[in-house]
């Protein structure tokens, strides 16, 4: 978000939540500012799996979701391999004690019967992150189950979006996370228009869905068209809200080879820009990173090794190709990201490239690359970066945490938090209440200065 307008925007975003979420909470996947940044102080940089660990909580199984922290509670999802269940969990933020755990999944799995309900190629259905406004917490799973609980653990409502709107049509594990904004629960379902691997619908529509968070009832369902084809229609990104200098609020949706801005109240499309896929020639360009807003710019990461694109905000109608502000340049390896969503922190974009094992700092106005740091290549870096306490925090598939100095790109420390055989950890690092929350396949660690 623009440094110039950020205080106003942050106030408007905070006011859009209907519950008593606290300023130091991490209430949804990309944190309190929807950009991966958080306010914090005195975060330790010399922790280990024993040192500075305030508590460690064991999990029933893995999950790709990132925890959220709201008040005294830590919420996250996981799978229970023994029971074949998708579970919603709530931990005490101070102690790590398990407050409640519920089998939140309905068991719905399209196109198959008698199969384990939590599996999908390359991942599992405990991939979307939960969201909370302090009054309720909503869990979403890749099989379409959407469940709301009170903080005390009582179920408020539940529904399955595949049962209600038709089977999802995705090649991989659907993992878009919901957001709560302006009194609405908002999700994006950007999918193929033909069955894949025997699952899905012919002519399946892509749409934005807004529900009443108190009841789960539909407020609107807006069809979002795209000229993309096959896998390029698929998006695993999350909606991102934005409030411009004029006070106009919109929801940014990325996928299907375009980025669009929508009225949060109706879903109506306000503007669109695209494409990073001219002629829609690339048919296997599913999109994973969400857009991130900084300094009046929406950053979009095209798939694979393609560049990142800076798109102007506050538009009207279909923007011309010339409206693009800049894109990353490079003879062979431009700044790019195939999976991680970039960070906006201290007035800069930080783009983590999983395909290059590199982190780059980029000026939002010009696209100038101010530094690029090569990262250790023991495992893929696919967790999205977090900015807090004057540092950047990264974690790879093996659970190695990297702490980077944002001014210079120098690596301050590398810390192994995973187990010896871990290679599929996908969670991002969470910062809330001056603590680090690190989720591996088997545990959640709470790191702080209170314990040596």
Distances (CA, A) of 411 to 53, 146, 217: 22, 40, 48
**The pLDDT value given to residue 21:** 55
Question: How many other C-beta atoms can be found within 10 angstroms of the C-beta atom of residue 383?
Answer: 27
**The pLDDT value given to residue 7:** 32
User: For 11-20, what is each residue's pLDDT tens digit?
Assistant: 344 444 434 4
User: For 99-136, what is each residue's pLDDT tens digit?
Assistant: 999 998 877 776 554 456 666 666 788 999 999 999 99
Q: Which has the closest alpha carbon to 126: 79, 166, 164, 89?
A: 79
**The pLDDT value given to residue 451:** 55
Cα separation, 339 vs 177, whole angstroms: 14
Contact 123, 69 (CB under 8 A): no
Contact 190, 255 (CB under 8 A): yes
Cα separation, 182 vs 285, whole angstroms: 32
DSSP letters along 11-60, please? HHHHHH--S---TT-B-STTTTTTSSB-------SS--SSTTEEEEEE-S
Residues linked to residue 368 through DSSP beta bridges, in sequence order: none
Please report, in tens digits, the pLDDT of each residue of the chain (452 residues total).
333 333 334 434 444 443 445 679 999 999 999 999 999 999 999 999 999 999 999 999 999 999 999 999 999 999 998 888 999 999 999 999 999 999 988 777 765 544 566 666 667 889 999 999 999 999 999 999 999 999 999 999 999 999 999 999 998 888 899 999 999 999 999 999 999 888 888 999 999 999 999 999 999 999 999 999 999 999 999 999 999 999 999 999 999 999 999 999 999 999 999 999 999 999 999 999 999 999 999 999 999 999 999 999 999 999 998 999 999 987 666 899 999 999 999 999 999 999 999 999 999 999 999 999 999 988 999 999 999 999 999 999 999 999 999 999 999 999 999 998 888 899 999 999 999 999 999 999 999 997 54
**CA-only gyration radius of the chain, Å:** 20
Cα separation, 154 vs 136, whole angstroms: 10
**The pLDDT value given to residue 422:** 84
List of domains in the chain: 6-447 (2.140.10.10)
DSSP state of 163: H
**The pLDDT value given to residue 395:** 97
Residues linked to residue 391 through DSSP beta bridges, in sequence order: 388
Q: Which has the closest alpha carbon to 361: 346, 352, 350, 345?
A: 350
């Amino acid at each position: 978000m623009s440094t110039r307008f950020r205080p106003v925007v942050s106030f408007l975003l905070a006011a859009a939540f209907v519950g008593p979420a606290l300023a130091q909470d991490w209430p949804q996947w990309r944190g309190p500012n929807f950009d991966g940044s958080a306010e914090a102080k005195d975060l330790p940089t010399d922790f280990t799996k024993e040192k500075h660990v305030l508590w460690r909580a064991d999990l029933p199984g893995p999950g790709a979701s990132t925890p959220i922290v709201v008040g005294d509670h830590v919420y996250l999802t996981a799978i229970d391999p023994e029971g074949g269940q998708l579970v919603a969990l709530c931990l005490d933020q101070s102690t790590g004690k398990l407050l409640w755990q519920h089998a939140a999944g309905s068991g719905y799995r399209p196109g198959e019967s008698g199969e384990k309900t939590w599996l999908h190629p390359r991942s599992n259905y405990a991939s979307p992150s939960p969201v909370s406004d302090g009054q309720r917490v909503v869990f979403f799973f890749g099989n379409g189950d959407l469940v709301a609980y009170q903080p005390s653990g009582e179920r408020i409502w539940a529904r399955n979006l595949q049962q209600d709107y038709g089977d999802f049509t995705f090649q991989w594990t659907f993992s878009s996370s919901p957001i709560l904004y302006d009194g609405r629960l908002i999700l994006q379902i950007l999918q193929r228009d033909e069955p894949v691997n025997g699952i899905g619908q012919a002519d399946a529509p892509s749409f934005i869905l807004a529900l009443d968070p108190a009841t789960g009832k539909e407020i609107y369902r807006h069809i979002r068209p795209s000229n993309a084809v096959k896998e390029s229609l698929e998006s695993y990104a999350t909606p991102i809200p934005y409030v411009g200098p004029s006070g106009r609020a919109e929801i940014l949706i990325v996928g299907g080879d375009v980025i669009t801005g929508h009225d949060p109240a109706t879903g109506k499309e306000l503007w669109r820009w695209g494409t990073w896929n001219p002629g829609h020639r690339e048919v296997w360009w599913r999109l994973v990173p969400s857009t991130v807003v900084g300094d009046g710019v929406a950053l979009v990461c095209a798939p694979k090794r393609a560049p990142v694109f800076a798109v102007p905000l506050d538009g009207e109608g279909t923007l011309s190709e010339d409206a693009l502000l800049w894109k990353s340049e490079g003879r062979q390896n431009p700044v790019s990201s195939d999976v991680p969503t970039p960070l906006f922190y201290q007035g800069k974009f930080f783009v983590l490239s999983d395909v290059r094992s590199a982190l780059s700092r980029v000026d939002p106005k010009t696209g100038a690359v101010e530094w690029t740091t090569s990262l250790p290549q023991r495992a893929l870096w696919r967790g999205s970066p977090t900015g807090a306490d004057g540092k950047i925090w990264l974690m790879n598939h093996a659970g190695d945490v990297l702490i980077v100095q944002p001014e210079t790109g120098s690596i301050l420390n590398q810390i192994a938090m995973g187990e010896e055989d871990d290679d599929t950890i996908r969670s991002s690092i969470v910062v809330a209440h001056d603590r680090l929350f690190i989720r591996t396949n088997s545990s959640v660690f709470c790191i702080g200065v209170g314990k040596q």
